[in-house]
Amino acid sequence: MTTTRADLDRLAHAVADPTRRQLIERLLASPGLTTGQLATSAPQLTRFAVMKHLDVLRRTGLLRTMGDGRQRRHYLEAGGLDALRAWLDSLSA
């Protein structure tokens, strides 16, 4: 798979935000949390704001969301950061 500069820019933008990094860390520790559960972990944000952050992560390939009845469960996508990691590794080569 070829990674473009635009792909790297989107990944870097997604992980540059401290709230999104907090959500990533939360999902790493507890995969499958619902939107509501994630919203309670960031009380400074509305549920709608959390949903917007999750959408950014989903569009960059870092997050997978699955329906579970009326709830939506969120999982980090394995390898989602591989392109960014490879680019960073190339800088130190």
CATH number reported for the structural domain that contains residue 14 in this entry: 1.10.10.10
38: nearest Cα among 47, 79, 67, 1? 47
Residue range of the domain that includes 37 = 5-91
Q: pLDDT tens for residues 45-87?
A: 899 999 999 999 999 999 999 998 999 999 999 899 999 999 9
29: nearest Cα among 85, 75, 82, 68? 75
* Residue 31 in tokens: 């995969």
The answer to whether the CB of 62 falls within 8 A of the CB of 25 is: no
Domains in the chain, number: 1
Is this prediction's pTM over 0.75?
Answer: yes
